[in-house]
Amino acid sequence: MHIGLLVFPNITQLDMTGPYEVFIKYPDCTVHLIWKSRDPVAAGGGMQIIPTTTYAECPDLDIICVPGGAGMNPLLNDVETLEFIKRMAFSARYVTSVCTGSLVLGAAGLLDGKRATTHWMSHEMLAEFGAIPVSDRVVQDGNIITGGGVTAGIDFALVLAREIYGARAAQKMQLAIEYDPQPPFESGSPSSAPADLVAEVRALGKQRQDERLALVEQAAAKRR
* Catalytic site positions: 99
> Which amino acid does the sequence have at 5?
L
Nearer to a copy of itself, 139 or 215 (CB): 139
C-beta separation of 103 from 78 below 8 A = no
Rule CB under 8 A: say whether 113 interacts with a copy of itself. no
Integer-rounded Cα Rg, in Å, for the chain is: 17
Nearer to a copy of itself, 89 or 123 (CB): 123
Specify the stretch interacting with a copy of itself by CB under 8 A; choose among 58-66, 74-82, 153-161, 208-216. Answer: 153-161
Q: Which of 8, 13, 88, 144 binds a copy of itself (CB under 8 A)?
A: 13
Return the number of other C-beta atoms located less than 10 Å from residue 92's C-beta.
Answer: 20
Distance CA 204, CA 135 (A): 22
Rule CB under 8 A: say whether 91 interacts with a copy of itself. no
Closest distance to a copy of itself from the beta carbon of 66 (Å): 17
Three-state secondary structure readout of 137-194: CEEEECCEEEECCCCHHHHHHHHHHHHHHCHHHHHHHHHHCCCCCCCCCCCCCCCCCC
> Which amino acid does the sequence have at 217?
E
The helix/strand/coil state of 123 is helix
Closest distance to a copy of itself from the beta carbon of 43 (Å): 9
Distance CA 218, CA 20 (A): 31
Of 191, 129, 152, nearest in space to 16 by CA: 152
Rule CB under 8 A: say whether 192 interacts with a copy of itself. yes
Q: What string marks each residue from 126 to 145 as x (binds a copy of itself by CB under 8 A) or -?
A: -----------xx-------
* Total of chain residues touching a copy of itself, rule CB under 8 A: 65
Nearer to a copy of itself, 109 or 163 (CB): 163
Distance CA 199, CA 204 (A): 9
Closest distance to a copy of itself from the beta carbon of 82 (Å): 25
Residues in region 171-190 near a copy of itself by CB under 8 A: 171-172, 174-185, 187-190
Residues within the interface to a copy of itself (CB under 8 A): 12-14, 17-18, 20-21, 23-24, 31, 33, 40, 44-50, 52, 99, 119-120, 137-138, 148-152, 154-155, 158-159, 162, 167-168, 170-172, 174-185, 187-190, 192-194, 197-198, 200-201, 204-205
